[in-house]
Amino acid sequence: MSVPLPADLVAIDSPNRIPSDGDRLVAGPAWRISDAAVPYDLALREMEARVAAIHAGTGPEVIWLLEHPPLYTAGTSADPADLVAPDRFPVYRAGRGGQYTYHGPGQRVAYVMVDLRRRGRMDVRRYVHDLEAWIIAALDRFGVKGERRDGRVGIWVDRGGGREDKIAAIGVRVRRWITYHGISLNVDPDLSHFDGIVPCGIREHGATSLADLGLPVTLTDVDLALQESWRSVFEGERSCG
């Protein structure tokens, strides 16, 4: 049975370069890892520029791994009532699908700018399902069982006793079958920063991180897990070990 894609998860549109200071290019697919926190407005401009370059055939697909300074973003379905502390951090209109999300240090953000046409995957539902599978596979490398939940966007961890916490968020935009925005995975952020919003409009559940689960995992560890898991989910490869 086909499961409907949440209407607020994806923003679909009809039909400058990324600064190199503090960035590292990784061999293989066009992965970019920024060591310094990237201002959100700059990231938006760079994603727009990259999408245009991919469409024009003048630039490669890119998966950009980064952190942001502490901030809140509002997706296309954000309810103003869910912004509990509007003066705590800067708030940005993201243009992606979804509601309010927190980004900040200790959280690995992955902006995925790929052409679904070239990949033969002109199916947004499948793309989002694959993003979920990507996160779940990466978490599995650390012994964490990430799970989907019907009616709740993101990836969740069962803490026992009926408690479930969110460990990763998803919000995407698609323009002329080219994706941007993407995922965020909580590695070791300040979880109290989530208190300023109702994350993704879900009041009944909290947020967790790899550190909160007792795992001393670094951003570098997560980057490697994301790269290996990407190949297994999106490229059909299986890594050894």
- What is the mean pLDDT of the segment spanning 70-77? 92
**Phi, psi (rounded to 5 degrees) for 87:** -100, 5
At residue 218, does pLDDT exceed 50? yes
Q: Quick check: 88 pLDDT over 70? A: yes
What is the mean pLDDT of the segment spanning 58-69? 96
pLDDT at 76 over 90: no
pLDDT for residue 170:
93
Q: 9-25: per-residue pLDDT in tens?
A: 455 444 334 444 455 54
Q: What is the pLDDT of residue 6?
A: 46
Kindly tell me if the per-residue pLDDT of 57 is higher than 60.
Answer: yes
| Confidence at residue 11, expressed as pLDDT on a 0 to 100 scale | 53
Segment 64-76 shows an average pLDDT of 95
Annotation says 200 is catalytic: yes
Instruction: Write out the two tokens for 237.
Output: 């490869």
**Given this model, what pLDDT does residue 21 score?**
45
Neighbouring CB atoms inside 10 A of 15's CB total 6
Q: Which of 78, 138, 200, 226 is catalytic?
A: 200
pLDDT at residue number 18 = 42
Residue 85 corresponds to which amino acid? A
Please say if the pLDDT value at position 102 is more than 90: yes
The pLDDT tens digits of the residues spanning 115-150 come to 999 888 789 999 999 999 999 999 999 999 999 998
As given in the structure block, the two tokens for residue 134 are 């990507």
227/28 Cα distance (integer angstroms) = 9
Task: Kindly report the number of other CB atoms within 10 A of residue 23's CB atom.
Answer: 16
pLDDT value, residue 118? 86
What is the DSSP code string of 63-122? EEEE---SEEEE-TT--GGGBS-TTTS-EEE--SSSSEEEE-TTEEEEEEE-BTTTTT--
pTM of the model: 0.86
